[in-house]
Each structure stands twice: as C-alpha cells, then as structure tokens.
Structure 1
C-alpha cells in the first residue's frame, strides 16, 4: 500500500533545519534502505513543506517515521498528515 506523508514547515526552515538535517536524512535513508520509503523531498520556492512517499503494509509504519523524525521532535514541522494513495498510472515500485 502507498502512503504520502505531508509536512508543513516553520518559516525559515532552510536555516532552522541545519542542526537537525544530518539526523533527519539518516532516518530517511534507513527507511529507504528497508524499502519502506520510496521518495521524499521538500517543496521549493517557497520551501514551506515536504512530501515523502512510502510503500508499507499500514499507516502505523509511516507514523513510526514521524515519531522518530528530528524535524518533528524539534518543532520544525508545524503539522503533518498521512494519506493513503492509489497509484493508477506510471510504474508502481
């Protein structure tokens, strides 16, 4: 099953994320290596949020990512939402 995690960021995220970026990327990389996280990245112009696309058995696995994310733990994410996603075109991984 596919899920999209939506993040909304604080203002000035580019500067504020610096102390937490390495740990955030390490967490994301661990989920990529386990095959759970397929794609992720921030919005540009403005950098006010991000999406991460997961392929997992259930929503709880995405929630586990959120709970561990240094961006969430340190208040850089103002809100987040998880949506189940039905892929209808393109190459499903």
Structure 2
C-alpha cells in the first residue's frame, strides 16, 4: 500500500532549522530501507509543511514512523494527515 502524508509545521522556524538535519537523516534511513518513496517541503508560497509518500503494510506502520520522526518528537509538526493513495497515471507510477 502507498500512504500519502501531509505535514503542517509550527511557526517556530528556528526549531525547524535546528532539527532539520536529524529529520532528514531519519527519513534517509526510511528511504534507504525502501519504505519512504518521496518526501519534500512545499514551496515558498504554500503553508509551511511537506508531502511524504510511503510504502507500508498499513497506516499504523506509517504512523509509527511518523511518531519517531525527530520533527514530530521535537514539536516541529503541528499536524499530519495520512491517506491511502492509489496512483493510476503518470511517469512515476511504474516506480511505485
């Protein structure tokens, strides 16, 4: 199953900057394991946050990964949403 996650960050930019390297190292480990397919922040004109795509057995597994993310542990993430996602069209569908 593919799970799409949307993060919304708090307004504490200094904390976000402080924890960013640890957060990215954590996500890199999930990517290297094949669990995280894509991730990245929204552009400058969007609310502060990010989109992450995971391959997982179920949403509970993804929630566990999110709970352990240094951004969540340190209070950078104000809210997150999870939804099963079924990619149908596009150049990346074969890679997922």
Give the alignment's TM-score, normalised by structure 1: 0.88
Unmatched 5+ residue regions in structure 2?
Answer: none
Match of 1:55 in 2: 55
**Residue equivalent to 1:18:** 17
Shift of 1:12: 4.7
**CA RMSD in angstroms, aligned pairs only:** 1.4
Alpha-carbon separation, structure 1, partners of 2:83 and 2:3: 5
Residues 2-51 of structure 1 deviation map (CA, whole Å, 9 limit, x = unaligned): 100110111253x3212211210111011001101000001111451111
Contact kept, 8 Å, 2:12 with 2:76, in 1: the verdict is no
Within 2, Cα distance between the matches of 1:24 and 1:71?
Answer: 6
Aligned to 1:71: 71
- Check whether the contact 2:27–2:36 (CA below 8 A) recurs between aligned residues: yes
CA deviation after TM superposition for structure 1 residue 86, in Å: 0.8
**Equivalence for 1:41:** 40
Gaps of 5+ in 1: none
